[in-house]
């Protein structure tokens, strides 16, 4: 399903859209493996904030070939504005960095990035122990600043934050989060935070990474990935992206989708597994058919059976809960019991903004997707003990067959009520999945990342 309005608003109707003040969604700059710039804008990066994180960040960017400036020069364009708030202990200190960012906003390149760096906040209550009320107030204020800036962005620019939870900016996953947020891979992520809570992980491009002999363009080389619901939509995009990034992919889908699954797997040299994930022995069947340790598992298969609760029957409730959460819990437990995981396994499960905000007619779906977020939070400890991670991705409105079935007016509204004023593409979700499934994200665990263009739903 394509969004023709984007082409019209950037083409023949550009003047009309402007004069009537209609939504003006930009064409987003997405990652293209053939891009010699590797998905990064080449203008200089403005780093604001005389904090330890600001200094570390500048050194890091310079060492990786970026041009860094610490003050705005009239007439210059900036690929990104980075606000280093990590050393601030009182809300009274926020003004300098924030207004410093403000001075650069009009010079941000189209598709540019604002990134804030801060310390753990009250949105993660268990991590606030060492912060004073004033320090935590300052830190939490950064979430308000970042989210507001995301609402103010135009021309496909975004604003996101990196939250340092007891780790320095040099922590491998903080660095990896920075590259992800700076690159075109995060085109549809806005108003969000990546929290890094351990110094695990190997950043792509680091000396440690180079020592493994892996190719920075294919960071998942040598990893075996299982993707459920891989026949079409987001699952097929995830399978293709994990393959692009070097993984050997096993795609799972129901026998009825066998033909489409075979097509996708043939395209990427993957292996098709025809299986209903709600089968009681699905975990054992996957382990047996893969026959090797599973390094990456993407729980993507999902269904909707929308009804107002007053009209919902038992079958509509049970089927959604079973596919979207119970099957995942059973498969994870079976793979653990069978010791079928590889070294440092990474699990990523597809939640939804409906699971964060709830949605009319989706008590079953929202329950299952909120449950996914709960599973990731509580599963973090087990996967950390295995040297791995489990995280959730919550897409907003993504252009797939699932959303193509929505009534026209509802679909059009759902597209425009995000800061980027458009739906995302399956590739946008797949890029975030591949990032969290990689070794570089080993310090991000038990979290949920929204890929929603800052959709107002649950924002
Ligand atoms: P889709 O309906 O296009 O594809 C889902 C795939 O899962 C299909 O190939 C289907 O055959 C497979 N599947 C369903 N039940 C299965 C089962 N029991 N066993 C094995 N495979 C099964 O959906 P999509 O839009 O690509 O969504 C993928 C995931 O992303 C889902 O979990 C969905 O809830 C989530 N999500 C989608 C959106 C969106 O806007 N499209 C938004 C938020 C979350």
How far CA 394 is from CA of 200, 269, 390, 450, in Å, comes to: 23, 28, 14, 4
Provide Rg for the chain, Cα atoms: 22
Task: Specify whether the CB–CB gap between 222 and 245 falls below 8 A.
Answer: no
pLDDT digits (tens, 9 = 90+) for 221-239: 999 999 999 999 999 999 9
C-alpha 316/C-alpha 304 separation (Å) is: 9
Cβ–ligand 1 distance for 326 under 6 Å, the answer no
pLDDT digits (tens, 9 = 90+) for 165-174: 989 999 999 9
C-alpha 396/C-alpha 403 separation (Å) is: 11
From the alpha carbon of 234, which atom of ligand 1 is closest?
26
pLDDT digits (tens, 9 = 90+) for 91-123: 999 999 999 999 999 999 999 999 999 987 654
Which residues have C-beta within 8 Å of that of residue 431, sequence separation ≥ 6? 31, 185, 186, 187, 241
Please report the sign of the dihedral spanned by the C-alpha atoms of residue 212, residue 213, residue 216, residue 218: negative
Please tell me the distance between residue 88's alpha carbon and the centre of ligand 1 in angstroms.
43
Please tell me the distance between residue 428's alpha carbon and the centre of ligand 1 in angstroms.
15
Which residues have C-beta within 8 Å of that of residue 316, sequence separation ≥ 6? 305, 307, 364
The answer to whether residue 410 scores a pLDDT higher than 90 is: no
Cβ–ligand 1 distance for 398 under 6 Å, the answer yes
From the alpha carbon of 429, which atom of ligand 1 is closest?
30
Cβ–ligand 1 distance for 233 under 6 Å, the answer yes
pLDDT bin (cut points 50, 70, 90) of residue 145 is very high
Task: Specify whether the CB–CB gap between 141 and 91 falls below 8 A.
Answer: yes
From the alpha carbon of 395, which atom of ligand 1 is closest?
43
Cβ–ligand 1 distance for 278 under 6 Å, the answer yes
C-alpha 198/C-alpha 191 separation (Å) is: 23
C-alpha 30/C-alpha 111 separation (Å) is: 10
- Is beta strand 271-274 parallel, antiparallel or unpaired with respect to 108-119? unpaired
Positions marked catalytic: 365
Please tell me the distance between residue 303's alpha carbon and the centre of ligand 1 in angstroms.
6
**What per-residue confidence (pLDDT) applies to 187?**
98
Is the ipTM reported for this complex over the cut 0.95?
A: yes
**What is the secondary structure of 336-395 as a DSSP string?**
HHTT-EEEEEEEEEE--HHHHH--TT-HHHHHHHHHHHHHHHHHHHHHHHTT-EEEEEEE
State the DSSP H helix or E strand holding residue 211, giving kind and residue range, or none if neither. helix 207-211
pLDDT bin (cut points 50, 70, 90) of residue 420 is very high
Q: Is 223 buried (19+), middle (13-18) or exposed (0-12) by CB count in 10 A? A: buried
Q: Hey, what are 325's tokens?
A: 């959460």
Please tell me the distance between residue 255's alpha carbon and the centre of ligand 1 in angstroms.
15
At 51, is the secondary structure helix, strand, or coil? coil
Choose one of 400, 432, 448 to mutate for the ligand 1 pocket test, by most ligand atoms within 8 angstroms of C-beta: 400
Which residues have C-beta within 8 Å of that of residue 309, sequence separation ≥ 6? 363
pLDDT digits (tens, 9 = 90+) for 338-391: 999 999 999 999 999 999 999 999 999 999 999 999 999 999 999 999 999 999
Cβ–ligand 1 distance for 230 under 6 Å, the answer no
What is the pTM for the complete model shown?
A: 0.96
Among 112-116, 207-211, 399-403, 428-432, where is mean pLDDT lowest?
A: 207-211
SS3 percent helix, strand, coil of the chain, rounded to 5, is: 45, 20, 40
Please tell me the distance between residue 400's alpha carbon and the centre of ligand 1 in angstroms.
9
CA angle, residues 60, 146, 415, in degrees to nearest 5:
115
Please tell me the distance between residue 391's alpha carbon and the centre of ligand 1 in angstroms.
17
From the alpha carbon of 299, which atom of ligand 1 is closest?
32
Q: Hey, what are 236's tokens?
A: 């097929």
Cβ–ligand 1 distance for 261 under 6 Å, the answer no
Cβ–ligand 1 distance for 456 under 6 Å, the answer no
Task: Specify whether the CB–CB gap between 332 and 433 falls below 8 A.
Answer: no
Portion of the chain with pLDDT greater than 70, in percent: 96
Cβ–ligand 1 distance for 161 under 6 Å, the answer no
CA-closest residue to ligand 1 atom 3: 233
pLDDT digits (tens, 9 = 90+) for 344-357: 999 999 999 999 99
Please tell me the distance between residue 167's alpha carbon and the centre of ligand 1 in angstroms.
36
Helix ranges restricted to H, 228-340: 233-244, 258-267, 282-290, 314-321, 327-337
The answer to whether residue 129 scores a pLDDT higher than 70 is: no
Q: Hey, what are 126's tokens?
A: 């268990």
State the DSSP H helix or E strand holding residue 197, giving kind and residue range, or none if neither. none
At 226, is the secondary structure helix, strand, or coil? strand
């Amino acid at each position: 399903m394509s969004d023709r309005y984007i082409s019209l608003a950037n083409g023949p109707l550009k003047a009309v859209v402007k004069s009537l003040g209609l939504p003006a969604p930009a064409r987003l700059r997405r990652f293209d493996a053939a891009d010699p710039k590797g998905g990064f804008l080449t203008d200089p990066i403005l780093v604001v904030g005389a904090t330890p994180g600001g200094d570390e960040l500048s050194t890091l960017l310079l060492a990786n070939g970026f041009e860094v400036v610490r003050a705005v020069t009239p007439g210059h364009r900036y690929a990104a504005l980075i606000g280093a708030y990590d050393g601030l202990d009182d809300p009274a200190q926020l003004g300098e960095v924030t207004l410093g960012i403000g001075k650069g906003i009009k010079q941000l390149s189209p598709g540019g990035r604002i990134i804030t760096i801060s310390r753990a906040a009250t949105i993660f209550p268990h991590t606030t122990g060492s912060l004073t009320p004033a320090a935590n107030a300052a830190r939490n204020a950064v979430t308000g600043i970042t989210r507001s800036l995301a609402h103010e962005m135009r021309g496909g620019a975004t604003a996101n934050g990196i939250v340092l939870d007891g780790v320095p900016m040099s922590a491998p996953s903080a660095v990896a989060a920075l590259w992800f947020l700076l690159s075109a891979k995060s085109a549809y992520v806005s108003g969000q935070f990546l929290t890094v809570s351990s110094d695990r992980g190997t950043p792509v491009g680091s000396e440690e990474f180079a020592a493994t002999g892996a190719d920075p363009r294919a960071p998942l080389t040598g990893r075996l990935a299982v993707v459920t619901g891989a026949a079409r939509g987001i699952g097929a995009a995830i399978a293709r992206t994990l393959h692009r990034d070097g993984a050997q992919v096993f795609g799972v889908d129901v026998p009825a989708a066998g033909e489409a699954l075979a097509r996708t797997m043939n395209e990427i040299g993957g292996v098709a597994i025809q299986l209903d994930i709600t089968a009681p022995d699905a975990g054992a069947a996957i382990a047996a058919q893969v026959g090797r340790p599973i390094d990456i598992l993407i729980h993507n298969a999902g269904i909707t059976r929308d009804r107002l609760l007053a009209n919902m029957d038992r079958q509509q409730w049970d089927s959604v809960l079973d596919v979207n959460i119970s099957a995942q819990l059973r498969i994870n437990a079976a793979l653990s019991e069978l010791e079928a995981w590889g070294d440092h396994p990474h699990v990523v499960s597809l939640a939804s903004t409906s699971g964060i905000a709830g949605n009319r007619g989706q008590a079953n779906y929202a329950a299952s997707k909120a449950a996914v977020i709960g599973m990731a939070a509580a599963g973090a400890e087990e996967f950390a003990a295995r040297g791995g991670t489990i995280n959730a991705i919550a897409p907003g409105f993504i252009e797939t067959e699932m959303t193509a079935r929505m009534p026209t007016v509802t679909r059009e509204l759902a597209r425009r009520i995000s800061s980027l004023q458009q739906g995302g593409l399956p590739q946008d979700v797949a890029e975030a999945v591949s990032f969290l499934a990689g070794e570089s994200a080993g310090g991000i665990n038990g979290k949920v990342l929204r890929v929603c263009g800052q959709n107002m739903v649950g924002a």
